Amino acid sequence: MKKWYEKSGAEGDAVISTRIRLARNLRTHPFPGKLNPAGRAAVEQMVKEAVLACVQTLPEQFHFVEMDQLSQTEAVSLVERHLVSPEFIADRRGRGLILTDDESISIMINEEDHLRIQVMREGFGLKEAFRTADRLDSLLNSRLEFAFDERLGYLTQCPTNLGTGMRASLMLHLPALQESGMMSRYGTNLTKLGIALRGLYGEGSKPAGAVYQLSNQVTLGLSEQEAIANLESIAMQIIAQERSARSAMVKSLEMQDAISRSLGILRSAKLLSNEEFMKLISNVRLGVSTGLIRTVRYDTVNQLMVEVQPATVSLASGGQLAAGERDAVRAKIVSQRLTRKEDPDDVSV
Amino acid sequence: MKKWYEKSGAEGDAVISTRIRLARNLRTHPFPGKLNPAGRAAVEQMVKEAVLACVQTLPEQFHFVEMDQLSQTEAVSLVERHLVSPEFIADRRGRGLILTDDESISIMINEEDHLRIQVMREGFGLKEAFRTADRLDSLLNSRLEFAFDERLGYLTQCPTNLGTGMRASLMLHLPALQESGMMSRYGTNLTKLGIALRGLYGEGSKPAGAVYQLSNQVTLGLSEQEAIANLESIAMQIIAQERSARSAMVKSLEMQDAISRSLGILRSAKLLSNEEFMKLISNVRLGVSTGLIRTVRYDTVNQLMVEVQPATVSLASGGQLAAGERDAVRAKIVSQRLTRKEDPDDVSV
């Protein structure tokens, strides 16, 4: 079964994926921050049983993962696959994860809230992802009593989630806007509209791979549908501007050179750091979207971007790898995925 | 007809080419440095007629080029193709060039000496090249009276050529010895043996492309055969050390990575400076010689190294090119030559 991140979806040139996250808490227990170990264990057990019973009627296969049973590499790989938050694995005691085979649905137990229901989708699909999350939420609500206030809506540990408890976000690839230096201006303007735009990988003004996360910040005073429509409309404007900036950008021979070399290096490298990979794959993605590169598909790029992250690449090789070994394994995977089967590798090592 | 530099020859992994040069002067005229324009013209006419008459019995087709009729680009391209010296084109008045179709035989008229007979060959072939030069020299001697002294040998304008007037040289590719940092030590030791080892392209301790010229410095007190045997024996030792250093060097994954990427970049670049080309093609040559690269041949590499030099690449495009245009044309030629016909260029610009 293909994972969600092994596919590409609508507006795939600029939108890598869509995420809907719902924060829910049990009326019967204090927020996780106020729970002692026994309390956390009790909540975990209760939620686990309820969820696994609820989802039996769904077509997807759900699995339960006891977080403190995982190795550190396995835990970090969950973050790299966008299944859990970095905070969730910082202290794994009394925390559990429920997820589907294709990793598109996951429920963190005892993160900041008792439940964090998350639905991921390839491409631009906010409404579809919300529909799935909403259906699951309703199902769970039949067995679990959620903390809900008529006036405030869903109660959450952090007041920024109060109300819908929903965070909708899009993972966007914005290489041309990043290159134009206009990203910082976007950030300020979007804040006024209740929208946040942040780099997803790495710190600094130029996030690795030019991957950004666009998400709603307002959960109080408007419905989920309104928040999603708002986010959707702003995303479409950003995507249109990104596309127009790309068309201008790839007219330069320097950019064509950078794009073409990036694919050449990804195919031929025998050692590849994650940082260099992110920079080069971003160029390749830009090349695919502008028609310069015709032999690579978005789903291949999307898959690679998850597959060769440090912990995930280590896991695929069956355990811990030193950084140097990891760079060699990463280079091999990348070269295989990006080289057509008809072209044998002509540098034999 | 293939030019000599479009082929590869004996010991082609380390020896790009062989050159024999004989300096000869007419007994009847002062050395070129002492000639006025009329005198230079007279010598040029005299040598030209004698040479073209002499060589009629030879299988090769010889052509005469009036140097001051050439454009600067054409003149520089002759230097890049190793047909004439840089000094020869610095002032082209009263100078002529005779050369064969395959450019393996050339005679500079009124360079430092009245005649500079030069024979070039692919690979390691000192004896063969000398045989050709010697045959031509004897032929010319039947029509031209060379300045010769029983005790000193051939008289030349510069005393360093006195005696045999012969400079034998090998163009060597020594990337592993260069990388090991041992080249400077070689230089000092070889001087004591009457041999010079110099970088052929660029200044500094690391010549571009790791291409070196090994040549005899002694022309007095030993025969041409002795000088050649001496050079040959030293060359074989250097080649053996280079080969052994290569075997050790390419065991490292970093080096394999550099070699594989170099081919990847040369195939995919859309802009390529001469400096970067030289660095990358040197790595590719190393890859071919160590068996890491199996789809590229030495003759392709040798040909490219001449073909994409600045003036020669401009000429092939029919004239003057700005540096930026030249880098684009160079990238295109390199990519075409190094990409197998079965693999279509998959970055379309």
pLDDT of residue B115: 97
pLDDT tens digits along A158-193: 999 999 999 999 999 999 999 988 887 887 889 889
Q: What is the 3-state secondary structure (H, E, C) of B91-153?
A: CCCCCEEEEECCCCEEEEECCCCCEEEEEEEECCCHHHHHHHHHHHHHHHHCCCCECEECCCE
Nearest-CA residue of chain A relative to B264? A264
Dig out the tokens for A321 from the structure.
């790898």
Q: What is the least distance, in Å, from the CA of B343 to any CA of chain A? A: 7
Please check whether residue B268 touches A, CB under 8 A: yes
Q: How large a percentage of chain B has pLDDT more than 90?
A: 82
Among residues B230, B109, B131, the alpha carbon closest in space to that of B119 is found at B131
Task: Show residues of chain A in contact with B347, CB under 8 Å.
Answer: 256, 259-260, 263, 287, 292-293
- Amino acid identity of B255? M
Vertex B127: Cα angle to B122 and B128 (nearest 5): 55
Q: Is residue B190 packed enough to be buried (19+ CB in 10 Å), middle (13-18) or exposed (0-12)? A: middle
Return the H-helix or E-strand segment holding B66: strand B62-66
Closest CA to A52 of A63, A41, A66: A63
Transcribe A146-186 into DSSP letters: B-EETTTEE--SSGGGTBT-EEEEEEEE-HHHHHHT-HHHH
What length is written for chain B?
Answer: 349
More confidently predicted of B285 and B206: B285
Instruction: Give the pLDDT confidence score for residue A121 in this predicted structure.
Output: 95
What is the structure's pLDDT at A347?
54
pLDDT of residue B203: 65
Q: Tell me which of B270, B326, B347 to substitute to probe the interface with A (most A C-beta atoms closer than 10 Å).
A: B347
Among the listed residues A198, A215, A216, A194, the one whose alpha carbon sits nearest the alpha carbon of residue A207: A198
Say how far apart CA B108 and CA B95 lie, in whole Å: 8
State how far the Cα of B231 lies from the Cα of B168, in Å rounded to an integer. 8
Q: CA-to-CA distance for A346 and B293, rounded, in angstroms?
A: 6
Q: A261 and B254 in contact by Cβ < 8 A? A: no
Locate the chain B residue with the closest alpha carbon to A251: B349
Query: What CA–CA distance (Å, rounded) separates A127 from A223?
Result: 13
Q: Given this model, what pLDDT does residue A204 score?
A: 67
Do residue B257 and residue A331 have CB atoms under 8 angstroms apart? yes
In Å, how far is B81's CA from the nearest CA of chain A? 28
Contacts of A44 (CB under 8 A, 6+ apart): A94, A95, A96, A109, A110
- pLDDT for B303 beyond 90: yes
**What are the residues whose beta carbons fall under 8 Å from the beta carbon of A158, sequence distance 6 or more?**
A112
Query: Strand pairing of A166-173 and A148-149?
Result: unpaired
A331 vs B: CB within 8 A: yes
Tell me whether residues A269 and B269 touch, CB distance under 8 A.
no
- What does the pLDDT read at residue A349? 44
The answer to whether the beta carbons of residues B126 and B170 sit under 8 Å apart is: yes
Q: Please state, in angstroms and as integers, the Cα–Cα distance from residue B117 to each residue in A324, B105, B158, B200, B214, following that order.
A: 55, 8, 16, 20, 19
Residues in chain A: 349
Low-confidence ranges of chain A (pLDDT < 70): 202-204, 340-349
Average pLDDT over residues B127-144: 95
Distance from C-alpha of B219 to C-alpha of B94, rounded to nearest angstrom: 28
Query: Which helix H or strand E contains B46, and what residues bound it?
Result: helix B37-54
Most confident of the following: A178-182, B3-7, B118-122: B118-122
The rounded distance, in Å, linking the Cα atoms of A48 and A109 is 8
Looking at beta carbons, which residues of chain A come within 8 Å of B271? 253-254, 257
Helix H or strand E segment including B333: helix B323-338
Please answer whether residues A284 and A175 qualify as being in contact, where contact means their C-beta atoms are separated by less than 8 angstroms.
no
Query: Per-residue pLDDT tens for B23-69?
Result: 999 999 999 999 999 999 999 999 999 999 988 888 889 999 999 99
Comparing CB atoms, the residue among A267, A287, A342 nearest residue B264 is A267
CB of A334 within 8 Å of a chain B CB? The answer is no
Contact of B21 with B117, CB cutoff 8 Å: yes
Of A260, A265, A331, the CB nearest to B270: A260
pLDDT at A345 (0 to 100):
47
The whole-chain average pLDDT of chain A stands at 92
A271 touches chain B (CB under 8 A): yes
CA–CA separation, B204 and B184 (whole Å):
11
Extended beta strands in chain A, E state: 15-24, 62-66, 96-100, 105-109, 115-122, 148-149, 153-154, 166-173, 195-199, 211-216
Q: Which two tokens stand for residue B4?
A: 């000599």
CB contact under 8 A, A292 and B263: no
Nearest-angstrom CA–CA distance, B175 and B16: 13
The beta-carbon neighbor of A268 closest among B253, B260, B271 is B260
Q: Does B254 touch chain A if contact means CB atoms closer than 8 Å?
A: yes
Interface test with B, best of A260, A263, A295, A340 (most B CBs within 10 A): A260
Burial A25-47 (b: 16+ CB within 10 A, else e): bbeebebbeebeeeebebbbebb
Q: Give SS3 for A120.
A: strand
DSSP codes of every residue in B228-274: HHHHHHHHHHHHHHHHHHHHHHTTSHHHHHHHHHHHHHHHH-S---H
* A289 contact residues in B (CB cutoff 8 A): none
In 3-state terms chain A splits into helix, strand, coil percentages (rounded to 5) of 50, 15, 35
Say yes or no: A273 contacts chain B, CB-CB below 8 A: no
d(Cα B137, Cα B71) in Å, to the nearest integer? Answer: 30
In the block, residue with structure tokens 């049973």: A69
Residue A341: the pLDDT is 60
Q: For the residues of B156-209, what is the DSSP string, one character each?
A: -SSGGGTBT-EEEEEEEE-HHHHHHT-HHHHHHHHHHTTEEEEESSSSSSS-GG
Question: Tell me: the pLDDT tens digits for A99-146?
Answer: 999 999 999 999 999 999 999 999 999 999 999 999 999 999 999 999
End-to-end CA distance of chain B: 33
DSSP state of A282: H
The whole model's pTM is what?
0.90
A290-302 pLDDT, tens digit each: 999 999 999 999 9
Instruction: Say whether B269 and A261 touch across the interface (CB within 8 A).
Output: yes
Q: CB-CB: which of A254, A328, A343 is closest to B253?
A: A328
Task: State yes or no: ipTM above 0.85.
Answer: yes
**Residues 78-107, chain A: which have Cβ within 8 Å of B?**
none
Q: CB of A263 within 8 Å of any CB in chain B?
A: yes
Residue B265 near chain A (CB below 8 Å): yes
What pLDDT score was predicted for residue B102?
A: 92
- Tell me, what DSSP letter sits at residue A105? E
Average pLDDT over residues B227-250: 96
Q: Do B294 and A261 touch (CB under 8 A)?
A: no
pLDDT at position B71 is 94
Query: What residues of chain A lie within 8 A of the CB of B261, using their CB?
Result: 265, 268-270
